[in-house]
């Protein structure tokens, strides 16, 4: 990692269903940081749900909202940020997160992700005839971005608390180095 980096925040990236929000909330509580979920902020800004943004405005409009929130995040301090799964699959977004945050990717296999998200209706990209295949396809496209995270944590066999502990450990180490 670049030693000149400034680690003000913690950004959790990774595919849908890897536990970014649940882990993020727990870690924020322990660190006494603010928790921010980019999807929740976008819904508040747009005045409608992610499903409605996708349906009424299309995916490019949603990605534009993401670009805007990424810009706003640069002004944040002491914040744990859970990003939408597609937000870091963009060079500029990922580079921007790295200017102020330790970027931690939560990882899981397509099968594990499917187990976790099946039955949920709020993820428009998974309203597909074959959601498991769709997860595999999206994951293949995004893997090169997710791999650029500072830290990758495999969530497959770990409890929420164990994942949070790993994330906290990495964050404390990064802060000690970049003090
Ligand atoms: C998306 C992931 C979702 C949400 C939107 C698009 C994606 O967030 O931003 O449905 O492109 O992977 P979660 O990862 O929090 O489910």
pLDDT of residue 146: 98
Residue 43 near residue 134, CB atoms below 8 Å:
no
pLDDT of residue 119: 82
Higher model confidence: residue 76 or residue 1? 76
- Report the alpha-carbon distance of residue 135 to residue 143 in Å, rounded: 12
Least reliable range by pLDDT among 2-11, 83-92, 130-139, 147-156: 2-11
The residue nearest atom 3 of ligand 1, judged by CA position, is 84
pLDDT of residue 98: 97
As a whole number, mean pLDDT of residues 24-30 equals 98
pLDDT of residue 1: 60
The residue nearest atom 10 of ligand 1, judged by CA position, is 123
* Ligand 1 shell residues, CB under 6 Å: 16, 20, 39, 50, 84-86, 123-125
Per-residue pLDDT of 99-110, as tens digits, reads 999 999 999 999
């Amino acid at each position: 990692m670049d030693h000149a980096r400034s680690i003000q925040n913690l950004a959790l990236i990774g595919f849908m269903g890897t536990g970014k929000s649940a882990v993020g909330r727990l870690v924020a509580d322990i660190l006494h940081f603010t928790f921010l979920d980019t999807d929740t902020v976008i819904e508040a800004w747009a005045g409608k749900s992610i499903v409605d943004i996708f349906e009424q405005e299309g995916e490019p409009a949603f990605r534009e909202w993401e670009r805007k929130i990424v810009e706003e995040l640069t002004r944040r301090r002491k914040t744990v940020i859970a990003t939408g799964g597609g937000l870091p699959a963009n060079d500029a977004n990922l580079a921007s997160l790295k200017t102020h945050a330790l970027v931690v990717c939560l990882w899981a296999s397509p099968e594990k992700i499917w187990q976790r998200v099946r039955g949920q209706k709020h993820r428009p990209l998974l309203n597909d005839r074959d959601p498991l295949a769709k997860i595999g396809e999206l994951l293949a496209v995004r893997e090169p971005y997710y791999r650029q995270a500072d830290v990758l944590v495999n969530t497959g066999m770990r409890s929420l608390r164990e994942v949070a502990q790993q994330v906290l450990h990495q964050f404390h180490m990064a802060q000690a180095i970049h003090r």
